């Protein structure tokens, strides 16, 4: 039994509510070589500083906790996934840190990952009953714009907010959306997430790093 200490640096408070339980579950379902006690420490982003200052703060936090590695969440926004990943690698290399970093980069924004399992989203997140027959479910999802990849949606957060407003009413949008981050972070299936190229990239980086640190075969 050993401690696995991870520094999690997300873009904002709502992102932590999704990513922290997701990361805990992700590590618990991996076939690690030995039992671990997981400790995840968050970094509070200083909105007044620049990105270099933020990375330096993350590095300091990792040193403070003698972390195994860092998980940095950055939305891709308008960038290609590969370009954003390389940007982060280059900027982290400039820090000359002794700590390894894994980038979690959702295409467009984190809400694309929240949309990975539309049936879970509707039934558990929004309390929306689904049709009984598979064919009718497919038609229902298509009618709501949920039949295509979340990574093809131009603005996943705006799309999700509009969906909540359509199904529950505009007054419930903010509270419902806020609750979805934690709920889906605790329940989203990894099979659904692995259909998204951005999550597969994160999964590959994580497994490579865990193998390098002799925690996975």
Enumerate the domain spans of the chain: 2-107+196-212, 111-189
What pTM does this model have? 0.94
Q: What is the pLDDT of residue 2?
A: 86
pLDDT tens-digit profile of 69-80? 999 999 999 899
Query: What are the φ/ψ torsions at residue 70 (nearest 5 degrees)?
Result: -120, 140
Burial of 214 (0-12, 13-18, 19+ CB in 10 A): exposed
Are 184 and 125 in contact by the 8 Å Cβ rule? The answer is: yes
| Backbone phi, psi, residue 55, to 5° | -65, -40
- DSSP for 77-93, please give it: TTS-HHHHHHHHHHHHH
Q: Which residue has the tokens 């906790």?
A: 65
pLDDT number for residue 44: 82
Please report how many Cα atoms fall inside a 13 Å half-sphere around the Cα of residue 13, on the Cβ side.
Answer: 4
Measure the CA–CA gap between 70 and 124, rounded to whole angstroms. Answer: 31
Domain 2-107+196-212 architecture: 3-Layer(aba) Sandwich (3.40)
Positions of the chain with pLDDT lower than 70, given as ranges: 47
* Whole-number pLDDT of residue 141: 94
């Amino acid at each position: 039994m050993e401690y696995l200490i991870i520094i999690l640096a997300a873009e904002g408070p709502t992102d932590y509510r999704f990513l922290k339980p997701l990361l805990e579950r992700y590590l618990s379902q991996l076939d690690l070589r030995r039992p671990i006690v997981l400790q995840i420490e968050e970094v509070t982003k200083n909105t007044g500083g620049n990105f270099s200052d933020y990375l330096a703060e993350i590095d300091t936090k990792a040193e403070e906790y003698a972390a195994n590695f860092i998980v940095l969440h950055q939305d891709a926004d308008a960038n290609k996934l590969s370009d954003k990943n390389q940007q982060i690698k280059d900027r982290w290399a400039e820090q000359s840190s002794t700590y390894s970093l894994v980038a979690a980069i959702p295409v467009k924004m984190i809400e694309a990952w929240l949309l990975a399992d539309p049936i879970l989203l509707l039934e558990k997140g929004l309390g929306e009953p689904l049709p009984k027959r598979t064919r009718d479910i497919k038609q229902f999802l298509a009618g709501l714009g949920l039949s295509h990849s979340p990574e093809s949606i131009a603005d996943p957060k705006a799309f999700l907010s509009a969906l909540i407003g359509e199904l529950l009413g505009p007054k419930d949008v903010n509270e419902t959306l806020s609750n979805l981050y934690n709920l889906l972070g605790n329940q989203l299936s990894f099979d659904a997430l692995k259909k998204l190229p951005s999550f597969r990239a994160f999964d590959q980086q994580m497994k490579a790093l865990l193998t390098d640190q002799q925690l996975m075969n």
